[in-house]
Amino acid sequence: MFCGRCGSQRVGDDAYCRTCGAAFDDPGRPQTTDGSPDTAVVPPAPVGEEPGEAFPSWAAAGAVLATIFAPFISLIVAVVMYGNEKRLRRRGFLKNWAIGSAAWLGVGALIFIGVFASAGGGGCKGGRDPFALPSYESSDNVHWQETVACVNGGQTTFSVPASKVPGNGGSSSP
């Protein structure tokens, strides 16, 4: 038998799970002679997780927030403690702590900017603006460029065949 909360295997006639402490519904359930459970029960996936998912869906967002806010909070604590400290040696330690936290925060910000600046590899970040109409340009009526507005306020341009240009023998929708 397995725990319904964490999926750990039940040992002997335990009334509670050794991993998470959840109570078993039937403390006297019989086991086979070799000590293995007499039936195999597949534990349900915890709420917010898909079966086979390594981490819950919120774990990535939590890790990002912890990475961003931990050095910020550490910096605030060091500065507040520095202002209230009278001992010289401890003030030196708190100054180094504040410098380290600020450096950690700065490096984290640079990594954050680098990751999000390179994400998507160009094009519209956030997708096309569904309410904006694209514009078309060509210097020879054979090679066409379509310019579309993006949700983030920018725009992107890419090549399209002449058959995709409205009014040029193509469809009227982009």
Retrieve residue 145's tokens: 């460029």
Question: Is 174 a member of any domain?
Answer: yes
Tens of pLDDT, residues 89-141: 989 998 998 898 888 888 877 877 766 655 544 566 667 788 888 888 888 88
Global pTM reads 0.35
**Residues 113 and 138 grouped into a single domain:** no
Q: Which of 118, 133, 161 is the last residue of a domain?
A: 118
**Residues 33 and 64 grouped into a single domain:** no
Domain that holds residue 17: 1-44
**Residues 9 and 35 grouped into a single domain:** yes
Q: What is the pLDDT of residue 157?
A: 83
Can you tell me the distance from the alpha carbon of 77 to that of 70, in angstroms, rounded to the nearest whole number? 11
**Residues 34 and 2 grouped into a single domain:** yes
Alpha helix (H) ranges present in 22-58? none
Residues 153-164 have a mean pLDDT of: 82
User: Model confidence at 32, in pLDDT bands (50, 70, 90)?
Assistant: very low
Question: Is 114 a member of any domain?
Answer: yes
What number of CA atoms fall less than 13 Å from residue 19's CA on the CB side?
Answer: 10
Between 35 and 12, residue with greater pLDDT: 12
What number of CA atoms fall less than 13 Å from residue 82's CA on the CB side?
Answer: 15
Residues 36-55 have a mean pLDDT of: 52
**Residues 68 and 110 grouped into a single domain:** yes
Structurally, how many domains does the chain consist of?
Answer: 3
